[in-house]
A and B are shown apart, each in its own frame.
Chain A
Amino acid sequence: MARPVQEINAGSMADIAFLLLIFFLMVTTMDVEAGLQRRLPPMPDENQKQDDVQINRRNILVVRINSLDVLLAGGQIMDVSQLKDKAKEFLTNPANLETLPDRKDKMIEGFGNFAVSEGVISLQNDRGTSYNAYIQVQNELVKAVNEIRDEFAMKNFGKVYIALDEDRQRIVREAIPQNISEADPKETGKK
């Protein structure tokens, strides 16, 4: 007469699971890695003769932040909140003004010819600029580009940029490039 195998009491399993759960809750760091992604320009080769890339004056918008976090864009002192509209006006040049960037026809694969703006935003900062101010300015510039991209995507594909498929996103990216150059540091205005 074999004795039936006794069942193991599983009542404390929940306790054990809770213990593990609480451990993982404690050690978890839920910080998402996000931020403003940028591509730095490669270091110019010292041996190479530097051929000056002459960019037309009208195609550059100089955005400068000094050591007191005062913002200067295109020769005007302004608040960060005004920068986005300034950048958008600069990049789109809606009225085809002489003083704003030129447009150049470019063949975009899968879309056709499009007059791509030649504007470049040159961002300059001082060593004493606060990081926060710098990021806010970067943020506004990225926002300007993103809004133009959204408008372009809305007009041509009926969707916002982020909702498009990979290939169409590429088309939008080529039509509206994100030309933000972070200038080489200058030793000016040092306290």
Chain B
Amino acid sequence: MAKFSKHGKKGVPALSTASLPDIVFMILFFFMVSTSMRQTDRLVVVKVPEATEIAKLERKDLAAYIFVGTPVANKQAQVGTDARIQLNDSFKTVADIRDFIAAERETKSEVDRQFMTVSIKADVNVRMGIVTDIKQELRRTSALKIMYNARRGEPVNN
């Protein structure tokens, strides 16, 4: 005769959480490799325009960033509300772009220098005057590969 357990109904066995760390580690590693830490404090508010025909920047490490926009709220007392240029960590003028580009070129390896892209992150509300000045200065420093930063989305026509 087979022997039956006397304990009867066992109920639902407790869910094993032994693999939970594995799952969490998996997500963790994903975030670790996909993370790029923000290197600079943003001094200007930039809401990039929306466009549909955007192309992704192939080499992120070869990009130099120029931010253009209104200063953040707690800096407005010092510098006003007019659109300003931010390079690295401080407010700069168009005349400083030359040095900035030269410094950025130095940080790239010699073979990659020609592929350096200047990414212009400008706010939707800035006027073209300041952007044109930047473009002219970039032409003078022969940093000719540029990108107008934009988000994917249906453009708003106003």
Q: How many interface residues does chain B have, given as a range?
A: 35 or more
B136 interface residue per 8 A CB criterion = yes
Q: A27-B37, A40-B135, A185-B132 in contact; A132/B49 too (CB < 8 A)?
A: yes
A128 near B53: Cβ-Cβ < 8 Å? no
- Kindly specify which of A13-21, A50-58, A165-173 makes contact with the partner chain: A13-21
A residues less than 8 Å from B12 (CB atoms): none
- The interface residues of chain B, by DSSP majority, are classed as mixed
A residues less than 8 Å from B156 (CB atoms): 132
A79 near B54: Cβ-Cβ < 8 Å? no
- Residue in A10, A27, A182 whose beta carbon sits within 8 Å of that of B21 in the complex: A10
B140 (CB) vs chain A CBs: closest residue: A43
In the assembled complex, the CB of B59 is this many whole angstroms from the nearest CB of chain A, namely 10
- Residue in A18, A39, A69, A131 whose beta carbon sits within 8 Å of that of B158 in the complex: A69
Question: Beta-carbon contacts of B116-131 to A below 8 Å, as 1s and 0s?
Answer: 0101001111111101
B146 interface residue per 8 A CB criterion = yes
A28 near B57: Cβ-Cβ < 8 Å? no
A residues less than 8 Å from B25 (CB atoms): 17
Q: A27-B37, A29-B38, A135-B49 in contact; A34/B125 too (CB < 8 A)?
A: no
| CA distance in complex: A32, B126 (Å) | 22
- Residue in A69, A131, A139 whose beta carbon sits within 8 Å of that of B122 in the complex: A131
12 A-B pairs besides A37-B55, A43-B142, A139-B51 with CB distance below 8 A are: A24-B35, A27-B38, A28-B35, A29-B36, A34-B56, A34-B57, A36-B147, A36-B148, A41-B139, A80-B155, A128-B127, A142-B53
Q: List 11 A-B contacts (CB under 8 A).
A: A21-B31, A27-B35, A29-B37, A33-B56, A33-B63, A35-B48, A36-B54, A36-B148, A132-B125, A139-B150, A143-B53
Q: Which residues of B contact A (CB under 8 A)?
A: 17, 20-21, 24-25, 27-28, 31-32, 34-38, 48-49, 51-57, 60, 63, 117, 119, 122-129, 131-132, 135-136, 138-140, 142, 144-152, 155-158
